[in-house]
C-alpha cells in the first residue's frame, strides 16, 4: 500500500493510477480531491476521494491527525465505516495522501437540502435507516475500543449510485482514539467534538472520555434528522484549551432541564460544576420538553430512543449496541441497507445534489488544469461520469429496495462485521498466521473477571 516518487504530482508514480477530476473540499487538515481509478477496458473504474494532508503547522512532519487516521483505519473493516483504500506519499514535497472509497453525499448536505431546497422533512424510513446504520458502525467501533470523538452530520457519509447506494459510512477519524483504561486526561489533548454535538460531561470539564460522548452526538444527530436543524446550537467560546462553554450548556438545559445530583451523582466532581453553580443554576429552566422541540409524542419509540441517547449521566446513557436493539427499529418502516430509497413505492424519489468539483485545482492545490487531463472541448467539463455541471442534481436510479425484518437484523450485523481486520492485507507482507477459529490454542481459558483487554476470552465492560 502506498508509494510515491517524483517532484510534481504529475510525475509521482502513484498518481498514474488515477484520473484526477478535481477538488471537492478542504479543511484544516488539507484538501480533498475526487479521482477515478484507471481500469482496463471492460472493468468498471471506481470513484476515489483523495485526502491530501498538509504538513504539520510547526513543520513537524506527518500530522498526528493523519497518523491517527491511518493507524485506526488500517485495522478496521466494516460496511458502515469509510474504507481506506490506499496511502500514498510524495517524498519530494513530503506530502501524504489517503485514498478512500468516494461517497457522494453526507448528512450535512442531505439535511440542508431538505431544509433549504425541499422545505420538508426526511421520510421516516430514511431517518431510521440512516440512524440504524450509523449505530451499527458506531457499535463496531466501540466494541473495538475506539471512540470517534467528532461525530457530526458532515462526518457521516452516504454512498451514491452503485452497489452500496444509500449505505452510511462513518468518516474522519482524525480525532478518533483507542481507549484502554486509563485514558489520558482530556486536557492533554485539547477538547474535541464540535461544540453543538459535545456531551455535557465534556462541557463540564470531564478529564476522561468514554464511548458515551459519541452516543450524545448520535442523539443530537438523530434530533437534527427529525427537525432539520441542530438541536443545541450554542456559541463557542475559544479563550483557552478547555473554556467553560456557558452558552452551549444553556442551550442544552433549556431543552432538557438542569441536571441534578440525584440523576447524575458524579456531577459534583466535574471541574466546571462550580462555575455552573454560579452562572447557570440561578437561571430558571422551565423544561421546554424535548418532545416539544422534536415534535414527537413522549410515548413514541422514537422519543424513547432519543431521550435515552441524551441521558445526562454518561453511565446511564444508552450504548450503541443497546440502541440497535431498541423497539424503534423493530416497528414499521423497518430500516434497510439503502437509506435513500423512498419509503412507499409511490413516494417521490429525492435527488440529492452531488458535490461540486473544482476542476481547476491539481493535487498540489495550485489552480491550473493537470496536464494529463483532457478538457471536453465542447462543454469545458472533465471527461467521464463526473462531467457536466456537478452542482446540478442528477437523477438517481432506485436500487431494489431492501427491508430488514427484525430477526434479520442480527444476521445483517454479523455479516457486515465478519470481515473485520481482513480488509487490507498488504501485498508485500505475507500472512504467517491466519485468524484463529473460535478456540485459540494460545488463548487464556477462564475467569471472565480477569479482564485482559484485547484478548477474546474475557468480556470487558466498554464503559470506563
Partner 1 sequence: MAANFWTSSHYKHLLDQEDVDMVNPLDKEKGITLEDFKLIKMHMANYILKLAQQVKVRQRVVATAITYMRRVYTRKSMTEYDPRLVAPTCLYLASKAEESTVQARLLVFYIKKLYTDDKYRYEIKDILEMEMKILEALNYYLVVYHPYRSLSPLLQDAGLNDLNMTQLTWGFVNDTYKMDLILVHPPHLIALACIYIASVLREKDTTAWFEELRVDMNVVKNISMEILDFYESNRMFTDERINSALQKLSLRP
The candidate with the shortest Cα–Cα distance to 173, out of 84, 105, 110, is 84
Establish if 101 lies at the interface with partner 1 (CB under 8 A): no
Closest contact distance (angstroms) between CB of 197 and partner 1 is: 22
Establish if 144 lies at the interface with partner 1 (CB under 8 A): yes
Establish if 5 lies at the interface with partner 1 (CB under 8 A): no
Establish if 418 lies at the interface with partner 1 (CB under 8 A): no
The candidate with the shortest Cα–Cα distance to 305, out of 287, 317, 314, is 317
Establish if 184 lies at the interface with partner 1 (CB under 8 A): yes
Closest contact distance (angstroms) between CB of 194 and partner 1 is: 20
Establish if 281 lies at the interface with partner 1 (CB under 8 A): no
Question: Of all helices (H) and strands (E), which one includes residue 252?
Answer: helix 246-256
What is the grid cell recorded at 173?
A: 477519524
Closest contact distance (angstroms) between CB of 102 and partner 1 is: 20
Using CB under 8 A, which of 146, 218, 228, 302 touches partner 1?
Answer: 146
Interatomic CA distance for residues 153 and 151, integer angstroms? 7
Interatomic CA distance for residues 66 and 225, integer angstroms? 30
Establish if 420 lies at the interface with partner 1 (CB under 8 A): yes
Closest contact distance (angstroms) between CB of 159 and partner 1 is: 24
Using CB under 8 A, which of 344, 377, 441, 461 touches partner 1?
Answer: 441
Using CB under 8 A, which of 75, 304, 358, 364 touches partner 1?
Answer: 75
CA distances from 410 to 258, 328, 423 (A): 37, 15, 21
Assess whether 101 carries a catalytic annotation: no
Which pairs with CB-CB distance under 8 Å and at least 24 residues apart come from 267-271? 267/204, 267/312, 267/313, 270/201, 270/204, 270/205, 270/206, 271/204, 271/205, 271/206, 271/207
Of 187 and 269, the one with the shorter C-beta distance to partner 1 is 187
Of 179 and 312, the one with the shorter C-beta distance to partner 1 is 179
Establish if 143 lies at the interface with partner 1 (CB under 8 A): yes
Say if residues 119 and 153 touch (Cβ distance below 8 Å). no
Closest contact distance (angstroms) between CB of 283 and partner 1 is: 37
Establish if 185 lies at the interface with partner 1 (CB under 8 A): no
Establish if 96 lies at the interface with partner 1 (CB under 8 A): yes
Interatomic CA distance for residues 420 and 83, integer angstroms? 12
Establish if 118 lies at the interface with partner 1 (CB under 8 A): no
Say if residues 142 and 80 touch (Cβ distance below 8 Å). no
CA dihedral 83, 108, 158, 165 (to 10 degrees): -160
284 appears as a binding residue in the annotation = no
Interatomic CA distance for residues 364 and 7, integer angstroms? 11
Which residue in the list 19, 106, 150, 172 is annotated as catalytic? 150
Establish if 435 lies at the interface with partner 1 (CB under 8 A): yes
**Which residue's C-alpha cell is 431546497?**
117
Establish if 29 lies at the interface with partner 1 (CB under 8 A): no
Using CB under 8 A, which of 27, 380, 384, 426 touches partner 1?
Answer: 426
Paired residues of 367 in beta bridges: 361
Of 238 and 439, the one with the shorter C-beta distance to partner 1 is 439
Establish if 408 lies at the interface with partner 1 (CB under 8 A): no
The candidate with the shortest Cα–Cα distance to 104, out of 303, 363, 395, 366, is 395
Closest contact distance (angstroms) between CB of 91 and partner 1 is: 6
Of 89 and 464, the one with the shorter C-beta distance to partner 1 is 89
Closest contact distance (angstroms) between CB of 83 and partner 1 is: 14
Paired residues of 97 in beta bridges: 52, 88
Of 9 and 253, the one with the shorter C-beta distance to partner 1 is 9
Say if residues 54 and 74 touch (Cβ distance below 8 Å). no
44-73 positions binding partner 1, by CB under 8 A: 58-62, 64, 67-68, 70-72
Question: Of all helices (H) and strands (E), which one includes residue 111?
Answer: helix 107-112
Establish if 453 lies at the interface with partner 1 (CB under 8 A): yes
Query: Any idea what DSSP says for residue 196?
Result: G
What lies within 8 Å, CB to CB, of 81 at 6+ separation is: 73, 137, 140, 141, 169, 170
Closest contact distance (angstroms) between CB of 96 and partner 1 is: 7
User: Would you tell me which residues interact with partner 1 (CB under 8 A)?
Assistant: 1-3, 58-62, 64, 67-68, 70-72, 74-76, 87, 89, 91, 94, 96, 143-146, 177-178, 180, 184, 189, 420-422, 425-426, 428-429, 431-433, 435-436, 440-447, 450-456
Annotated binding site: 52
Active site residues: 150
Annotated binding site for ATP: 52
Amino acid at each position: 500500500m502506498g508509494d510515491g516518487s517524483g517532484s510534481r504530482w504529475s510525475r509521482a508514480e502513484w498518481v498514474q493510477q488515477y484520473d484526477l477530476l478535481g477538488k471537492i473540499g478542504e479543511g484544516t487538515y488539507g484538501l480533498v480531491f475526487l479521482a477515478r481509478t484507471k481500469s482496463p477496458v471492460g472493468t468498471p473504474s471506481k470513484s476515489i476521494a483523495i485526502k491530501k494532508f498538509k504538513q504539520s503547522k510547526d513543520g513537524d512532519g506527518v500530522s498526528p491527525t493523519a497518523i491517527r487516521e491511518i493507524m485506526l483505519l488500517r485495522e478496521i473493516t466494516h460496511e458502515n465505516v469509510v474504507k481506506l483504500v490506499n496511502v500514498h506519499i510524495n517524498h519530494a514535497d513530503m506530502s501524504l495522501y489517503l485514498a478512500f472509497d468516494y461517497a457522494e453525499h453526507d448528512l450535512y448536505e442531505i439535511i440542508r437540502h431538505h431544509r433549504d431546497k425541499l422545505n420538508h422533512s426526511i421520510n421516516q424510513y430514511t431517518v431510521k435507516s440512516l440512524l440504524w446504520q450509523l449505530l451499527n458502525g458506531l457499535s463496531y467501533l466501540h466494541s473495538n475500543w475506539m471512540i470517534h470523538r467528532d461525530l457530526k452530520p458532515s462526518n457521516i457519509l452516504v454512498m451514491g449510485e452503485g452497489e452500496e447506494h444509500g449505505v452510511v459510512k462513518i468518516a474522519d477519524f482524525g480525532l478518533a482514539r483507542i481507549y484502554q483504561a486509563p485514558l489520558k486526561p482530556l486536557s492533554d489533548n485539547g477538547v474535541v467534538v464540535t461544540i453543538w454535538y459535545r456531551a455535557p460531561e465534556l462541557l463540564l470539564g470531564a478529564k476522561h472520555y468514554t464511548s458515551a460522548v459519541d452516543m450524545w452526538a448520535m442523539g443530537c444527530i438523530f434530533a437534527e434528522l427529525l427537525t432539520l436543524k441542530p438541536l443545541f446550537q450554542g456559541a463557542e467560546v475559544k479563550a483557552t484549551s478547555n473554556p467553560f462553554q456557558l452558552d452551549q450548556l444553556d442551550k442544552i438545559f433549556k431543552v432538557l432541564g438542569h441536571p441534578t445530583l440525584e440523576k447524575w451523582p458524579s456531577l459534583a466532581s466535574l471541574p466546571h460544576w462550580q462555575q455552573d453553580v454560579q452562572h447557570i443554576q440561578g437561571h430558571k429552566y422551565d423544561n421546554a420538553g424535548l418532545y416539544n422541540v422534536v415534535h414527537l409524542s413522549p410515548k413514541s419509540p422514537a422519543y424513547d430512543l432519543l431521550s435515552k441517547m441524551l441521558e445526562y449521566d454518561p453511565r446511564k446513557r444508552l450504548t450503541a449496541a443497546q440502541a440497535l436493539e431498541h423497539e424503534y427499529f423493530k416497528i414499521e418502516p423497518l430500516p434497510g441497507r439503502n437509506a435513500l430509497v423512498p419509503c412507499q413505492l409511490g413516494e417521490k424519489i429525492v435527488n440529492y445534489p452531488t458535490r461540486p468539483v473544482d476542476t481547476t485545482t491539481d493535487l498540489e492545490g495550485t489552480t491550473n488544469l493537470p496536464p494529463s487531463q483532457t478538457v471536453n472541448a465542447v462543454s469545458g467539463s472533465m471527461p467521464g461520469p463526473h462531467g457536466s455541471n456537478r452542482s446540478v442534481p442528477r437523477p438517481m436510479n432506485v436500487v431494489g429496495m431492501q427491508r430488514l425484518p427484525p430477526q434479520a437484523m442480527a444476521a445483517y450485523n454479523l455479516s457486515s462485521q465478519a470481515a473485520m481486520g481482513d480488509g487490507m492485507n498488504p501485498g508485500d507482507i505475507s500472512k504467517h498466521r491466519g485468524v484463529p477459529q473460535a478456540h485459540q490454542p494460545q488463548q487464556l481459558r477462564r475467569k471472565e473477571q480477569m479482564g485482559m483487554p484485547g484478548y477474546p476470552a474475557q468480556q470487558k465492560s466498554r464503559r470506563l
